[in-house]
């Protein structure tokens, strides 16, 4: 990957820009709208949204006001946890389309494999949801379908009934949180790995303040965030950095003019103590 417009190719041939703009925890309203506009102005052509973020109307408005042609933007959304059934998925999808103001979606993901609402029948719930995904895909209303936060046992369960294999698995990946088993299994099934929270998120053990990140930032004359995004790219992952600051939105994708030494990539992968622990999808309470 040499520029922000370079793309990965999904298993069905669909091209997906190599860095996406994340919108998690961006508040609904002008802040999110303006952040999306700033991202598109900075050259992003990939926007990652979700119904759970409760800001898709603002994301859609930002896309509309950006002036960038719809066909030039790759837009992702995700199914919210309470809607894991065939009919509920249909209703949730239509709401997302209305909120975003779209006629079609480039990628739709099951956000979590085992939400609390279907804990006692998650395999059936995911199978019924996936059936609805496949129908929308066949109709051309979704160009690609996939999952998020799925571990191998969730993927194996879905394989029992799926007619179309997931094309993406979006998981939390960053230096210090590499999820080798999930990555290996997903890649073995021809899924692209997307890395959300590539900067590690916030918390007491904030990744970008880790001594190793600070040291490498000085070595490469890049921000710790840029080091994290570059690490993702060199590992073959598609990073989804998020910010609502126009300056940081721009900075986060200035990552194509340097390359991390392979030894530094390994050090980042083996980082201990950072970032903060992440919940297991079978134990989430939402």
Q: Contact 102/70 with Cβ under 8 angstroms? A: yes
Instruction: Tokens for 285, please give them.
Output: 């309470």
How crowded is residue 170: how many other Cβ atoms within 10 Å of its Cβ?
29
pTM: 0.97
pLDDT of residue 226: 98
Q: Contact 56/96 with Cβ under 8 angstroms? A: yes
Q: Contacts for 210-213 with beta carbons within 8 Å, 24 or more apart?
A: 210/175, 210/176, 210/271, 210/273, 210/274, 212/175, 212/267, 212/268, 212/271, 213/175, 213/268
At 73, give phi and psi (nearest 5°).
Answer: -120, 130
Of the listed 53, 136, 137, 185, which one is catalytic?
53
Q: Whole-angstrom Cα distance, residue 218 to residue 225?
A: 12
Positions of the chain with pLDDT under 50? none
Give the CATH H-level superfamily of domain 7-206+238-244: NADP-dependent oxidoreductase domain (3.20.20.100)
pLDDT of residue 206: 87
Q: Is 53 a catalytic residue?
A: yes
Q: Contact 47/78 with Cβ under 8 angstroms? A: no
pLDDT of residue 103: 97
Q: Whole-angstrom Cα distance, residue 55 to residue 141?
A: 21
Mean per-residue pLDDT of the chain: 97
Domain boundaries, the chain: 7-206+238-244
Bridge partners (DSSP) of residue 108 are: 77, 145
pLDDT of residue 201: 80
Residue 118 has what DSSP assignment?
A: G
Cα dist from 125 to 65, 113, 134, 140, 193, whole Å: 37, 9, 14, 23, 23
């Amino acid at each position: 990957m040499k520029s922000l417009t370079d793309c990965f190719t999904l298993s069905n041939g669909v091209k997906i820009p190599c860095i996406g703009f994340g919108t998690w925890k961006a508040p609904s309203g002008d802040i999110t709208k303006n952040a999306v506009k700033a991202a598109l102005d900075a050259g992003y052509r990939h926007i990652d949204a979700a119904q759970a973020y409760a800001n898709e109307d603002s994301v859609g408005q930002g896309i509309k006001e950006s002036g960038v042609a719809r066909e030039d933007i790759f837009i992702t959304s995700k199914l919210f946890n309470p809607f894991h059934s065939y009919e509920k998925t249909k209703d949730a999808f239509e709401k997302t389309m209305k909120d975003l103001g779209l006629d079609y979606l480039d990628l739709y993901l099951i956000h979590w494999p085992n939400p609390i609402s279907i804990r006692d029948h998650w395999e059936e719930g995911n199978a019924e949801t996936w059936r609805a995904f496949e129908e929308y895909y066949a109709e051309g209303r979704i160009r690609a379908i996939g999952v998020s936060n799925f571990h191998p046992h969730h993927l194996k369960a879905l394989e029992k009934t799926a007619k179309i294999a997931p094309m993406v698995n979006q998981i939390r990946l960053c230096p210090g949180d590499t999820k080798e088993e999930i990555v290996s299994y997903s890649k073995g099934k021809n899924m692209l790995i997307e890395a959300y929270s590539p900067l590690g998120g916030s918390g007491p053990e904030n990744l970008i303040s880790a001594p190793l990140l600070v040291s490498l930032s000085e070595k490469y004359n890049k921000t710790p965030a840029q080091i994290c995004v570059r690490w993702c790219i060199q590992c073959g992952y598609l990073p989804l950095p998020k910010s609502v600051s126009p300056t940081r939105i721009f900075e986060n994708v200035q990552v194509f003019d340097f390359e991390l030494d392979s030894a530094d990539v390994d050090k980042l992968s083996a980082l201990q103590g950072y970032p903060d622990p992440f919940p297991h999808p079978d134990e989430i309470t939402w």
